[in-house]
Amino acid sequence: MAEKIKLFVNGVEVEVEAKKNLIDAISAVGIEIPHLCYHPALGADGNCRMCLVGIEDGRPPLVPACKTPAREGMKVLLDAEHIKKIQHDVMELELINHPIDCPVCDQAGECKLQDYYMSYDQKESRMTVPQVTKGKKLDFGSGVIHDQERCVVCGRCVRFCRQITKTGELGAINRSDDTRINIFPGRPLNNRYALNVVDLCPVGAMTSSDFRFKQRVWFLKKAPGICHGCAKGCNITIDHNRQKYEDDIIYRFRPLLNKQVNGYFICDEGRLSYKQENDGRLIEARLSTQPRSIDEILTASTKEIDRAEKIVISLSPNCSLEQMITIKALSEKLGATLTGYSEGYIKQDDGDDFLIQDDKSANRAGLQLLEIDNSRDTFTGAIREADLLINFNNNLLLSFAEKEISKLLKGTKVITVTSHDTPFTTMADMAIPVASFSEYAGTVVNSDNILQSFGKAITKNIDLDDISGIAARLGSPLQTPGERFAALQQIISALNGFEPDNIPAEGLKLKESEAANVTA
Amino acid sequence: MSLLDYFMIALRVSFSAFIPLCFVAVCVWMERRGAGYFQDRSGPNRANICGFRAAGLVQNLSDGIKLAFKEDMISDHIKHKFFFVIAPVIVFFTAVVSFAVVPYADTLILGDSSYLMQGIPVDLGILWFLALAGFSVYGIILAGWSSSNKYGILGGLRSAAQVISYEIPMGLALVSLLVVYGTVNLNEIAQFQGKLLFGFIPMWGAILQPLSMIIFIIAAFAECNRTPFDLAEGESEIVAGFHVEYSAMKFAVFFLGEYVAMFASSAIIITLFFGGYQVPFLSTDSLIRYAKPIAFLLMITLPLFMYFFAGWIRRSNISHYPRENDPRVFEATIYIKCFWGLIVLLELILLVILFCESGGSAAAIFVALLQVCTFLLKVTMMIFVYIWVRWTIPRFRYDQLQKLGWQVLLPLALLNIFITSAVVVALS
Amino acid sequence: MSATVKTIERKGSSLREKLYLIEIAKGMATTFGHLFRNLKDNRKLYVRHYPEVQPEIPARWRGRQRLTTHEDGTVKCVACFMCQTNCPANCIMIEAGERLDGKAEKMPVKFNIDLLECIYCGYCVEACPLDAIRMDTGIFSVTDNNRDSFVLGLKELLATPGAYSEEEYKKGGA
């Protein structure tokens, strides 16, 4: 636990964490100091003057809270008249040249300027001179669209490109009321984290061309989740909405703060991976290419399993630990060869030292944790002798060329349990649709051996079973979520004392012994 | 039996069976247009065939067609489908049959043979009516119960309790009346009322037994489930009561039954209290004797009446908004021509009477027709009273209904019996 | 605070009223008076002969919706979703898109109003920041014989003109 200090806010004593600035320290106890330019990840800049507070110890009457560390016994003034006046004045200054086009602005609803106007200003503009016109709808590249008129020049985006991505594409040009954010001529935003500036922008100056005009933010329901785009396991907010008479659809992923894993940001690739949750999904069960009911296919699959002599079960490294252990139990019961071979999910040299990883699967660490074989030889060896392959969402076409896999699978019946309608699905004899990661709850282990759990975010109109449900219906001994978690607890000691729904939000760091198991 | 006997039986039975049904159309029309005029609206006046609206009667036709062609559905939750289907039939059947004993003209004497002018020539008379009126409530109770619907069962229960409460005052009111008349045969009762009291007042039941009349009419309203006693339907509290689950023809049969029952009970009321088929001040004998002068008088009054009626049609049948070549004026002209044609036909018939021998069969038939007309006119007026009351008096609350039946009507009816009996005994 | 007591006279307690029959007769006389009056001259009926005689619709009447246009006939709506957000019946369904003619950044690509669900409360008109939706068409009777035709699209909403002049509409309190 961090060191605690006591200070006074508006004469009321509060206990806050030491070694933090006033904004962070006081907001932790629920008192908000308005700020536009300060962001915890980017540090204090002190240019917006919105966070000016009074401190009664002989200092000048106004000090920026973002630059002031919290000290023992400090007397912070927030509700004095002169503080209120300066907040109102700053708001008025920011709004002088703001176009106030909230009806067409995507930020409306989550806009700091809107919120602060309602809380600290609420006055008509006194300006009679024409507003300064600047560039609108400037394409900054990487899917970022900039509106210079809406910009309050807080510089968060500029600092993000300098400090975090260290690419420095953005800069502020000109002076005073003509100041604007721009790119260097012919050098657009070109980094894999560029869309984070959309989240960082406190107003609607930076918008994402992907989300632009799709949906008003107040319609969106927010649910926490884990990105399955790579082995990092970044925490995300899944913004989804069910429009009238339509299906529940995800509109965007946003980063969710988890200091242990991803901090405040996610990569653009992960951010846009929401599209795979909406599109290209398999929704009906198939017998070769004919649509059938899921029950019918499951009955047919059970018959195939009874008939088959040698079975190979392959599973995807994206499966949650619960799914993996259910499938493992199924394969032990059937005496099948279990393989998690999925080399194709790893993209060599794609990762960087910030968030992006080479491994594009979410739970490969889980495969090793549950001691599931991962090697190509085991897979190819087993598949040659087998007469039935049950494939759980593992897109083998990533690891093999099409010719190669069809040669391998000659004479082998293939039952694929999959969330997406990929070319491999069409190769299978039977296909069973399952929920994708936004539609089930589970736990995954990331590349840093941090175990994280996530809940079910989306309920589609056709609420499909997840992989562990299908495995259970195919005969796995682990029938209920409780049984699966208990089985996991026997293997992972860190889970002892936890229930599936009270695993800490920042994740559990697995112990050395288990980590050793992973690297082995 | 001669051919004439067979013909007369067929004629009487068909009259008893079809006149109530034909009158349903008139009743519904009177109810709807009447309701409109009572409430300063116009009532249904749009449905037409080639622009002819027949004062709104065409609306009945279209409603009838609609009901006949609607999907006749029975909900799945109804377990006793047989009872469900039979219920409206009971209501309808009892209503039609209860009219069968009502005489609509005096005994017709043609040569040597005489014919009772009622559908079923039985001596049961008023007892037949009481029995069937009590039976018709089974239809309602059955409908309410077999609907498996809480509103339906509430309607059925209300109806059952209501009938029990009002049969008794009704029966007791009749007792005092029968003491006066000394018979239960309705034809004899009607003949009795043809006499004159003190030589100038018709000896109608209404004059001899006013209290009995009031009690009987109130009870008859209750028996017919008409406002202010329509708690079995009570659309504002129990939706539609017993017929909430009924649709299409099954509903139509309920509907018909209700209006036929209204017709039948009007017929009974006028037979018991308003001289039945008797023309006021003119008994059957004097009518036959003065057939020719009466026919002559009618020949003069009919065109006179028609003249004013034509004027009223012309005034009323116009569009009330600016319209070029108002088609309703043409419509009115056609109606007036039709009516004049009818009058000419009637004049011809009356002319035949004038040239026939007096006191013969022709005079007897003429008098019978006259009495039938009188009877139907009186019934129509009684039906009008039903409608009039419906659009004037609001529905009773259930406790008020029971209180009225048991605490007011029953003691009054008993009191009436004592007084009547005492007077009758004293006079004899 | 002292309560004001108002004693209300109980009606119907006199003997004559309790007899009930006299009061009924009085009531029936009243209704018969109406019947007689109307039979004598049916022009006195308090009836509007709809549909031949149409009611007069005041400018404040909330009729069927329409979308207003700029002078050159292009849609004023910028798809801000305020009407959809406010609609208590959830009968407005908008899809937004990019606008390229320079009048605004955003415009509706789809703007559906399901009239079978609309309750004609007028909140959409109140909410609109640009006066782009109005209920001044004067259309109060929407009839058809299939459900789909009750869902008005952008085209129908733009095609209907307003029934009043701008001054009349403004005078109506808009």
Give the pLDDT confidence of A261-285 residue by residue, as tens digits.
999 999 999 999 999 999 999 989 9
Percent of chain C with pLDDT over 90: 49
Instruction: Answer whether residue A370 shows pLDDT above 60.
Output: yes
**Per-residue b or e along A482-500, where b marks 16 or more CB atoms closer than 10 Å to that residue's CB:** ebbbebbeeebebbeebeb
User: What digits encode the pLDDT tens for the residues A482-508?
Assistant: 999 999 988 888 888 888 888 888 888
Least confident of B64-73, B103-112, B232-241, B419-428: B232-241
Interval A11-66: pLDDT, tens: 899 999 888 899 999 998 889 999 999 999 998 988 999 999 998 887 888 899 99
The pLDDT of residue C1:
59
Q: What is the pLDDT of residue B120?
A: 80
A310 shares a domain with A451: yes
For the stretch B327-341, what's the b/e string if a residue is b when 16 or more beta carbons lie within 10 angstroms of its beta carbon?
Answer: ebeebbeebbeeeee
Q: Would you list the domain boundaries of chain B?
A: 3-278+380-427, 282-359
In this structure, what CATH number is given to the domain that contains residue A507?
3.40.50.740
A312, A376, A383 from A338: Cα distances, Å: 6, 12, 11
> Is A97's pLDDT higher than 80?
yes
Q: Tell me how close the Cα of A137 comes to any Cα of chain C, in angstroms.
A: 9
B388 touches chain C (CB under 8 A): yes
Q: Is the pLDDT of residue B247 over 60?
A: yes
- Give mean pLDDT, residues B201-225: 87
Q: Pull the structure tokens for residue A422.
A: 């990929």
Percentage of residues in chain B having pLDDT higher than 70: 99
pLDDT, position A274: 94
Contact status of C130 with chain A (Cβ, < 8 Å): yes
- Contacting residues for A203 by C-beta, under 8 A, at least 6 apart: A36, A98, A107, A111, A112, A113, A150, A151, A152
- Interior angle at CA A18, CA A13 and CA A23, nearest 5: 75
Q: Is C54 on the interface with B (CB under 8 A)?
A: no
Cα–Cα dist B349/B357, whole Å: 14
ipTM of model over 0.85: no
* Residue to test with chain B: of C23, C39, C45, most B Cβ within 10 A: C45
Asked if C78 lies within 8 A of A218 by C-beta distance, the reply is no
Q: Which domain holds residue A257?
A: 217-278
The CA radius of gyration of chain C, in Å to the nearest whole number, is: 26
Predicted local distance difference test score (pLDDT) of residue A485: 92
Partner-chain contact C34 B214, CB within 8 Å: no
Q: What is the pLDDT of residue A235?
A: 94
Q: By 3-state DSSP, what share of chain A in percent is helix, strand and coil, each rounded to 5? A: 30, 20, 45
Q: Is the pLDDT of residue B208 over 70?
A: yes
Say if CB B156 and CB B90 are below 8 A apart: no
Tokens of A58: 């002989």
Distance CA B127, CA A119 (A): 87
Per-residue model confidence as pLDDT tens digits over A321-332? 999 999 999 999
Average confidence score pLDDT of chain A = 90
In this model, does residue A218 exceed pLDDT 90? Answer: yes
At B322 the pLDDT is 82
**What is the rounded average pLDDT of the residues B81-97?**
89
What does DSSP assign to residue A121?
I
3-class SS of residue C125? helix
> Which CATH number is A268's domain given?
3.30.200.210
Are chains B and A touching, using the cut-off of 8 Å on CB pairs and a minimum of 3 such pairs? no
Q: What is the pLDDT of residue C118?
A: 94
In this predicted model, what pLDDT tens digit does every residue of B337-353 receive, in sequence order?
999 999 999 888 888 88
Q: What is the pLDDT of residues A156-174, one digit of tens each?
A: 999 999 999 999 999 999 9
Buried b / exposed e along B173-185 (16+ C-beta atoms within 10 A): bbebbbbbbeebb
For residue range A348-359, what is the model confidence (pLDDT) as tens digits? 888 888 899 999
Q: Which fold has domain C66-171?
A: Alpha-Beta Plaits (3.30.70)
Residue that finishes a domain, picked among A245, A278, A311: A278
Residue C134 has pLDDT above 70, yes or no: yes
User: How far is residue B7 from each of residues A90, B115, B122, B368, measured CA to CA in Å?
Assistant: 108, 11, 19, 16
Q: Do residue C93 and residue A243 have CB atoms under 8 angstroms apart?
A: yes
Sheet holding A144-146, edge to edge: A138-141, A144-146, A206-208
Q: Give the closest-approach CA distance of C33 to chain B in angstroms.
A: 8
B316 Cβ under 8 Å from any chain C Cβ = yes
Alpha-carbon distance of A106 to A143, in angstroms, equals 14
A463-481 pLDDT, tens digit each:
999 999 999 999 899 999 9
Q: Considering only alpha carbons, which residue of chain C is nearest residue B228? A: C24
Last residue of a domain, one of A46, A73, A95: A95
Contact A164, A172 (CB under 8 A): no
CB-CB neighbours of A211 under 10 Å: 21
Chain B CB contacts of C30 below 8 Å: 392
Q: Write down the pTM of the prediction.
A: 0.75
Query: In three state form, how does the secondary structure of C46-74 look?
Result: CCCCCCCCCCCCCCCCCCCCEECECCCCC
Ranges of H-type helices in A118-228: 156-159, 196-200
| The pLDDT of residue C173 | 63
Q: Which run of H or of E encompasses C29?
A: helix C21-40
Indicate the range of A411-420, B200-209, C128-137 predicted with least confidence: B200-209
Give the pLDDT mean for C47-68: 87
> Which percentage of chain A shows pLDDT scores above 90?
62
| Residue A29: CATH number of its domain | 3.10.20.740
pLDDT of residue A518: 47
Q: Report A:209-248 residues touching C (Cβ under 8 A).
A: 212-214, 216, 218-219, 243-244
Strands A170-173 and A144-146, bridge-based pairing = unpaired
- With both helix axes pointing from N to C terminus, report the angle between B3-38 and B81-98 in degrees, rounded to the nearest 10: 100
Position A204 scores a pLDDT of 92
Three-class secondary structure of residue A450 per DSSP = strand
Q: What is the number of structural domains in chain A?
A: 4
- Retrieve residue C141's tokens: 């009777």
Q: Is residue A117 part of a domain?
A: no
> Which tens digits make up the pLDDT trace of A378-410?
888 888 888 899 999 999 888 888 888 888 888
In a domain, A119, yes or no: no
Q: Does A139 touch chain C (CB under 8 A)?
A: no
- pLDDT band for position A520 (50/70/90)? very low
Q: Quick check: B393 and C49 CB within 8 A?
A: no
